[in-house]
Structure 1
């Protein structure tokens, strides 16, 4: 019996939110580099409705958190705060213990070990919607679970958009992952391999061994070979990094292949790499190849599916480095330098 199951049976007070108290958290009151981040003591958040208060044991650092720190591309500020972030505590990915639940929560109880996405996970406590959490697999640590949600959900949805869904059928397609050494790329390769695909990962030279270790059948070093040189064509391309032109993506696709674009940091200051994604959507109806984009979302159904894959050892979390909460600025600088192989965990 899990701690959460025991709590459900022994206490009717689980649905009563806790309030009050002070916690340590990383905060930012302006957009900018890692220099805007500092450790502070702030009030512990409260829960209501379908919200869950999680005592955070570990958090994950992802590209979305970097965007929200910098406030770039500027279009993001329309949703998250124009002059400064509305939520001063950064961080999305988390894993920890349920501390309290709102009166509308039915899937979790106090004491449950969970992972998922919350509001401001670079803190001792964070609030998450019930539909953004799943039970943590017993076989993985809090750190290993914390780095999964954003990156793995994005990878899973990108492959589905490209027509690869191991839950429905195995495939013999040839898949190319651009940006294979990052968090999303690492999970995308593992999902594609689990689906039976022949997987090629593209990365910078210093990360070739890391990409091979995650199961890639072939690895392309960007400095040594152009993936669009015409020597190989792929049924599916997952484009996670850089800014290759649509022409180059199409040159590397089979006649009816699919390219899925998500990420890509280069572009104008207003929309970043999104302009290329919008052009892909506009062109796709007029050609035989499929050009599409996704913006990853974290749903409890996908998180539960990922929990099963983690428990079974079908996917693993490749953690490059772990940093304590008071070293989040240094973790962000390391991430921003492009040195990361896999994921970065933040520990409490």
Structure 2
């Protein structure tokens, strides 16, 4: 089979299209003929071998998983002897980041429990764009509570995969949504339902963000973690409404992540009872995938796909991903 191999850390130039052996499923796995896969920030980090934590966990000299790609969609070709739920021919999608990776290939093996059945009305490209970003958005919005109608939600870094899902989900729950990203993404954020959009590249961004706290937010979903958490605490509603106020970080530099993880509880107490400040630990699971399928089938969310590339153009796809200009997701079609 054909696959994109990452033999060492570096730039997208190190990626190579090779012929490799077709994998054989274990007893608890299925073999998937991959129809589409999707690039996530983890793939970008793995190629570069940054931050250092990734090398400590997944290989000091080269990636532990030479075939990257964790979001996949495709058809089950064969199943292991212990498989009970899936059958050959089933159309599935899932997040392989907790197990095998290997999505940038024509075939991949995966445990049955990480896969959900793809809705019939969802394309393979849409299915591949959904697992990690959709689950992160779901889990971020319900971190230590749920959104109530009328609450104010701020999404920082809203133009990527997680943010585009989160806008739609928060609006479906009756929230007033403010979305932050760069100039070229603002029209897309409005089209997804954001009530207010802010351009972080403008000089007056800080003033527009209401750092005086006159219009505080009940939930701040920080996808990028590029600004100090102390700035956002000024605009977090003390105590919140109907379940407490929440600041949750989904991504950022190691320093900012460690800072929020170590100081979150103390900072929350300073703001007031019912306040939660913390890091979201991504937990791939089939139940959330099934919920995302329901949201898609009922028209509540639609994956935002920026560009689609064939397998042999994966290096170009990563170069585009690295520009930071992506709106939604970049999909690889087999």
TM-score, normalised on structure 1?
0.87
Aligned equivalents of 1:148, 1:329: Cα separation in 2: 21
Q: 1:64 to 1:280 in 2, by over 3 A?
A: farther
Aligned equivalents of 1:175, 1:162: Cα separation in 2: 14
Q: Secondary structure at the match of 1:193?
A: helix
Paired positions, count:
317
Aligned equivalents of 2:205, 2:186: Cα separation in 1: 13
Shift of 1:216: 0.6
Note if 1:144 corresponds to 2:126.
yes
Shift of 1:280: 4.0
1:164 to 146, 149, 154: 146
RMSD between superposed Cα atoms in Å: 1.5
2:78 matched residue in structure 1: 100
CA shift digits 1:215-271 (9 cap, x unpaired): 11111111242225225310000001142112101011111221000112xx4xxx3
Aligned equivalents of 1:69, 1:273: Cα separation in 2: 22
2:103 to 121, 128, 132: 121
1:179 matched residue in structure 2: 157
2:15 matched residue in structure 1: 37
1:263 matched residue in structure 2: 251
Q: Secondary structure at the match of 2:35?
A: strand
Note if 1:225 corresponds to 2:205.
yes
Please say if residues 155 and 180 of structure 2, whose CA atoms lie closer than 8 Å, have aligned partners that are also in contact.
Answer: yes
Please say if residues 179 and 194 of structure 2, whose CA atoms lie closer than 8 Å, have aligned partners that are also in contact.
Answer: yes
Q: Secondary structure at the match of 1:151?
A: helix
Please say if residues 225 and 250 of structure 2, whose CA atoms lie closer than 8 Å, have aligned partners that are also in contact.
Answer: no
Q: Secondary structure at the match of 1:175?
A: strand
Aligned equivalents of 1:285, 1:186: Cα separation in 2: 27
1:300 to 265, 280, 286: 286
Note if 1:213 corresponds to 2:201.
no
Aligned equivalents of 1:105, 1:306: Cα separation in 2: 23
1:243 to 222, 226, 230: 226
2:30 to 52, 56, 59: 52
Shift of 1:187: 0.6
Please say if residues 155 and 185 of structure 1, whose CA atoms lie closer than 8 Å, have aligned partners that are also in contact.
Answer: yes
Aligned equivalents of 1:283, 1:262: Cα separation in 2: 19
More deviation in 319-328 or 154-163?
A: 154-163
Q: 1:325 to 1:291 in 2, by over 3 A?
A: same
Question: Which consecutive residues of structure 2, in runs of 5 or more, have no partner in the other structure?
Answer: 240-244
Aligned equivalents of 2:83, 2:289: Cα separation in 1: 17
Please say if residues 4 and 314 of structure 2, whose CA atoms lie closer than 8 Å, have aligned partners that are also in contact.
Answer: yes
Q: 1:217 to 1:47 in 2, by over 3 A?
A: same
More deviation in 144-153 or 288-297?
A: 288-297
Please say if residues 229 and 260 of structure 2, whose CA atoms lie closer than 8 Å, have aligned partners that are also in contact.
Answer: no
Question: Which consecutive residues of structure 1, in runs of 5 or more, have no partner in the other structure?
Answer: 1-22
1:197 matched residue in structure 2: 175
Note if 1:318 corresponds to 2:304.
yes
Note if 1:275 corresponds to 2:255.
no
Q: Secondary structure at the match of 2:20?
A: strand
Shift of 1:25: 0.3
Shift of 1:273: 4.1
Aligned equivalents of 1:336, 1:44: Cα separation in 2: 30
Q: 1:69 to 1:277 in 2, by over 3 A?
A: farther
Please say if residues 257 and 279 of structure 2, whose CA atoms lie closer than 8 Å, have aligned partners that are also in contact.
Answer: no
Aligned equivalents of 1:57, 1:188: Cα separation in 2: 26
Please say if residues 162 and 259 of structure 1, whose CA atoms lie closer than 8 Å, have aligned partners that are also in contact.
Answer: no
Aligned equivalents of 2:53, 2:64: Cα separation in 1: 15
1:16 matched residue in structure 2: none
Q: Secondary structure at the match of 1:234?
A: coil
